[in-house]
Amino acid sequence: MSKPAVYPPSAEFVSKARVQGMEGYRALHEEAVNHPETFWGGVAEREIHWFEKWTKVVDWNPPDVKWFVGGKLNVSYNCLDRHLDTPRKNKAAILWEGEPGEQRAITYQELHRLVVRFASVLKSRGYKAGDRAIIYMPMIPEAVIAMLACTRLGVIHSVVFGGFSAEALKARIQDLGATAVITADGGYRRGKEIKLKPAVDEALLDCPDVRDCIVYRRTGSDTPMKEGRDNWWHTLDETASEDCPAVPLDSEHPLYVLYTSGTTGKPKGILHTTGGYLTYVTATMKWVFDLREEDTYWCSADIGWVTGHSYIVYGPLAAGATNVMYEGAPDYPAFDRWWRIVEKYKVSILYTSPTAIRALIRQGDQWPDAHDLSSLRLLGSVGEPINPAAWEWYHRVIGKGRCPIVDTWWQTETGGILIAPMPGAVPLKPGSGTLPMPGLVADIVDLNGFEVPPGKEGYLVLRRPWPSMARTIWGDPDRYKEQYWTKVPGAYFTGDAARCDEDGYYWILGRVDDVMNVSGHRLSTMEVESALVKHAAVAEAAVVGKPHEITGQAVCCFVTLKKGQHDHDALGKELRQWVAHEIGAFARPEEIRFTDALPKTRSGKIMRRLLREIVTNHTVAGDVTTLEDMSVITSLAAQQDED
Ligand code: WT7
């Protein structure tokens, strides 16, 4: 393999950066590895306002961990109140643009007022620390307001991505034991209204514990309301109070639960807590995004994913940033919508996904070229490995060769960015997340936990605790231990394969488990399989991720049918729609392949590994000695050749 290109930061970038040069990075990293308590204690003291100081920085009994033990703080206080006696008071916290084109600029003072009012509404309806609320909203400022209002009271929120179906929403409400749902009539995407309330109504048929459904009017379309349960946000706001102080909460108080796909059909509710999480996301805003007071920062993720939590809401607002927030699709009304936004708001930091970059590349350079992108100074990437060709385009066409790209590796479970360059310090290699954050000890190991030599592929594990790590899976601590802490003894198992090169740079190769990554969204093969076998015509289903030029992976389903006459074309369409209805439109399979049998081991386990090989390499070269019936593979591979 040829040696990859290396891009050191420019002298100009370094001279203004928060962390300058490799010496700067190494000093931080070494200090954090050698003296974690003083290092993280210092960060927490500098970055966060505490009502009461902690007595111990970290209490580590793997896999149980507590950070800033005994400390008391409030997240909404840190994101809002503490900025109000500084010059940030009248700084824009959110610059929002709706898809149809409306604009709202909300200052820190105004955001504070709106959050206090909504928190007072929740409080007056009896919600208090420890209660759970679901937030199911479009990308509008009220989604942020709802999140912060919950944190003001200590209500544990769980944001459900607006693209999830009623079924998926219901499962999350029930698992969490939520008693409130905060939603909107709908939002806009590609010029159409996407309704949300009907999915809530459907879900709530089976959620008797939900006492309140609060509906923000975004689109104004006809929305039936259920007497006694549903209320309009604006009606409740009429009697809201502007006196609703932030509640001091324990550092380990649960902040939110975010559901993500695991290797079974049931999503995992990843629990993050307060003090360590906020400290870590605030610190990484500065280390990775080199955030300065005058930056205009735009993370294009949706609030429903962890990227939106950590790097639209909590990190940026705690750090006092100006956040651009956009409601709709990147290609509406035309392919230059994003570049219009960058030009209009003079965005200086843009954080997005490789899928979005590849989709934009396909439309041609004329779209970005028609706009003034000179305000940009730093670019970011997250969610999946970025292929070097997409990296080079992002660097050349969007960054004009001036802007470093921070390729940030992390997970829902890690809460914050763990492997990424500090842009004024670390020379970049396209496709590599480069080096670990301060104090993080990442290793590449085999299944016995032994380190593999540089250049060799292995499992990525993390050996030390970090402040924003997940604490458990909501309601299922055993699954948490089993999934993350037993595969390699004493280490956190990431589920990713990776290799480390001779410079210590990490190259993430992708998941090693039955988890797909479609457009940077995590999806479990089992979740899609469970959805498919619920359909009356389906006997068995096996689902694998298939390489896809734009979305990284696409969902490919192998299906055997129950006896009877079937029209494969019509049924294929119906099953794709079925999965979208069961899980959400983003999970809609790219392909349904009907087959007479699935490859299985003698004990009856479906060998997804072989199906992955078929969709990737169009043939099977790997070990098939455990396969029960070889003819299955021959016929599947033959079917592939006909495609
Ligand atoms: C999985 C986590 C982190 C927020 C968005 C996704 C993959 C994530 C990168 C990257 C290569 C990446 C990994 C990881 N991933 N970022 N920069 N390079 N792979 O969060 O849904 O929890 O998914 O996304 O496979 O395990 P998530």
Pairing of strands 254-260, 268-273: antiparallel
* pLDDT in the model for residue 634: 76
- What DSSP letter does each residue of 187-228 carry, written as one string? EEETTEEEE-HHHHHHHHTT-TT--EEEEE-SS-------TT
* pLDDT in the model for residue 277: 99
Question: Which residues are near ligand 1 (CB < 6 Å)?
Answer: 260, 305-307, 382-385, 407-412, 433, 494-496, 508, 510-511, 517, 520, 522
The model's confidence at residue 2, banded by pLDDT at 50, 70 and 90, is low
Tell me which CATH homologous superfamily contains domain 519-642. Answer: ANL, C-terminal domain (3.30.300.30)
Relative to the CA of 495, which ligand 1 atom is closest?
A: 26
Task: Read off the pLDDT of each residue in 186-201 and give the average, rounded to a whole number.
Answer: 97
CA distance 369 to 393: 12
CA distance 507 to 523: 22
Q: 488: which 2 tokens?
A: 């390699």
Ligand 1 centre and the CA of 302: distance in Å?
15
Task: Read off the pLDDT of each residue in 564-592 and give the average, rounded to a whole number.
Answer: 94
Q: Which regions of the chain carry the CATH code 3.40.50.12780?
A: 63-278+292-323
Q: 623: which 2 tokens?
A: 């070990």
Ligand 1 centre and the CA of 71: distance in Å?
31
Q: Is the dihedral of CA 448, 449, 454, 460 positive or negative?
A: positive
Q: Which of 384, 405, 406, 586 to mutate to test the pocket of ligand 1 (most atoms within 8 A of CB)?
A: 384
161-181: pLDDT as tens digits? 999 999 999 999 999 999 999
Neighbours of 432 (CB within 10 A): 27
Q: Which of 312, 522, 524 to mutate to test the pocket of ligand 1 (most atoms within 8 A of CB)?
A: 522
* pLDDT in the model for residue 21: 97
Cβ-based neighbours of 275, under 8 Å, separated by 6 or more: 44, 48, 50, 54, 67, 68, 71, 73, 251, 252, 467
Name the phi and psi angles at 104, rounded to 5.
-140, 130
* pLDDT in the model for residue 629: 75
Q: Is the dihedral of CA 355, 360, 364, 365 positive or negative?
A: negative
Ligand 1 centre and the CA of 409: distance in Å?
6
Cβ-based neighbours of 201, under 8 Å, separated by 6 or more: 224, 226
* pLDDT in the model for residue 642: 52
CA distance 472 to 460: 20
Give residue for tokens 């955030």. 291
Using the predicted structure, report yes or no on whether residue 547 has a pLDDT greater than 50: yes
CA distance 542 to 544: 7
Side chain identity at residue 124, one-letter code: S
CA distance 36 to 126: 40
Query: Is 355:384 a contact under the CB 8 Å cutoff?
Result: yes
Ligand 1 centre and the CA of 517: distance in Å?
8
Question: Under CATH, what is the fold of the domain 63-278+292-323?
Answer: Rossmann fold (3.40.50)
Q: 259: which 2 tokens?
A: 């559901």
Task: Read off the pLDDT of each residue in 235-249 and give the average, rounded to a whole number.
Answer: 98
Look at ligand 1, atom 18, and give the residue with the nearest C-alpha. Answer: 385
Give residue for tokens 């919950």. 150
Task: Read off the pLDDT of each residue in 5-26 and give the average, rounded to a whole number.
Answer: 97
Look at ligand 1, atom 16, and give the residue with the nearest C-alpha. Answer: 383
The model's confidence at residue 640, banded by pLDDT at 50, 70 and 90, is low
Q: 418: which 2 tokens?
A: 């763990």
Q: Which regions of the chain carry the CATH code 3.30.300.30?
A: 519-642
Task: Read off the pLDDT of each residue in 355-374 and give the average, rounded to a whole number.
Answer: 96
- Which residues face 461 on adjacent strands? 443, 493
* pLDDT in the model for residue 433: 98
The model's confidence at residue 609, banded by pLDDT at 50, 70 and 90, is confident
459-494: pLDDT as tens digits? 999 999 999 999 999 999 999 999 999 999 889 999
498-542: pLDDT as tens digits? 999 999 999 999 888 889 999 888 899 989 999 999 999 999 999
* pLDDT in the model for residue 628: 72
Task: Read off the pLDDT of each residue in 97-116 and give the average, rounded to a whole number.
Answer: 98
377-418: pLDDT as tens digits? 999 999 999 999 999 999 999 999 999 999 999 999 999 999
Task: Estimate the crossing angle of helix 166-176 against helix 197-204, to 10 degrees.
Answer: 50
Side chain identity at residue 617, one-letter code: N
305-353: pLDDT as tens digits? 999 999 999 999 999 999 999 999 999 999 999 999 999 999 999 999 9
* pLDDT in the model for residue 643: 47
Q: Which of 409, 437, 492, 551 to mutate to test the pocket of ligand 1 (most atoms within 8 A of CB)?
A: 409
Ligand 1 centre and the CA of 574: distance in Å?
31
- Strand, coil or helix: what is 121? helix
Relative to the CA of 306, which ligand 1 atom is closest?
A: 4
Q: If you average pLDDT over every residue of the chain, what do you get?
A: 95
Pairing of strands 180-184, 132-136: parallel
Ligand 1 centre and the CA of 212: distance in Å?
34
Q: Is 296 left (phi over 0), alpha (psi -120 to 50) or beta?
A: beta
Ligand 1 centre and the CA of 240: distance in Å?
40
Ligand 1 centre and the CA of 275: distance in Å?
23
